[in-house]
Amino acid sequence: EENKIAIKTTKPPPKILLQPSNPYYDEINEVVSRHIHRIYEKTKGGEDTWECIAEEGELKVYKREIEENGIVLDPLKAVHTVTGITGHEVCHHFWDIKVRMDWEATLESSDVVEWLSEDTFICHNVIKRVWPASQRDAVFWTHIRHVPGESDEEPDVWIVVNYSTDHKSVPNGKYVRVTMNVAMVCQTIIDPPADGKITRDNIRCKISYTADVNPGGWAPASVLRAVYKREYPRFLKRFTSYVKDATAKKEVMF
């Protein structure tokens, strides 16, 4: 495909977790901690500024309308609870670029640009074009992490963060560059059965997904909002049922 930028990395992933010596270490830790803290912030009452745009069973999708210089920046968040899968499994499938195109419906391509560590790489997504807007792309680091619960009562957390960055091997210009701060945060709830034998029926995953996306250049607000309203709920349903199917016959990955 002559139209594609040659950015596929040939270097294999290092077999070591993200190290303090890595230039991205501080930024990644900061962004990850901010997302983790968000899940412990219980809603403090008062006016709820989030507008629900979709509700289906346990899935709820909310947005807040924000525009800056005519560009839609609506932050989006979704919560979902899915039985039969763990947070580790959800995060693994969200992070693993080898399976991304199996559940991503809005991408034309997705490639690794550089591996930073065993748990982190930089990638390049080319997003499908939406008429009448220009085509978009995104370059971001994606990091997966397991974090112990804040207290004895809190379950462990699995998290993936996708956060925009620049990379010399993907010059800006061919597409309009989208920037994002996306997090998939999961906690696994186990209801142990009387016989003590835990199966997938006894497992639930509480998911919190947030997306702060800047579409980069002008795009018609009404079209963009309509696309978001359709695509985010579709993504959450499609992705979670993908993970259920992919793991159903496998041993539980706690």
Contact pattern for ligand 16C over residues 132 through 171, marking x by CB under 6 A: -x--x-------------------------x---------
Q: Which residue has the tokens 């061919």?
A: 174
Contact pattern for ligand 16C over residues 215 through 254, marking x by CB under 6 A: x---xx--xx--xx--xx--x-------------------
How many C-beta atoms lie closer than 10 Å to residue 223's C-beta? 14
How many C-beta atoms lie closer than 10 Å to residue 150's C-beta? 14
Nearer to ligand 16C, 73 or 252 (CB): 73
Does 92 help bind ligand 16C (rule: CB under 6 A)? no
- Secondary structure element (H or E) that encloses residue 117, with its range: strand 107-117
Q: How far is the CB of 84 from ligand 16C (least distance, A)?
A: 21
Q: How far is the CB of 125 from ligand 16C (least distance, A)?
A: 5
Residue in 43, 38, 24 with CA at minimum distance from that of residue 210: 38
- Secondary structure element (H or E) that encloses residue 143, with its range: strand 136-147
Task: Report how far residue 162's alpha carbon sits from residue 144's, in angstroms, rounded to the nearest whole number.
Answer: 9
Q: Is 203 in contact with 83 (CB distance < 8 Å)?
A: yes
Q: How far is the CB of 152 from ligand 16C (least distance, A)?
A: 32
Interface residue list for ligand 16C (CB under 6 A): 100, 104, 106, 125, 127-128, 130, 133, 136, 162, 178, 180, 182, 213, 215, 219-220, 223-224, 227-228, 231-232, 235
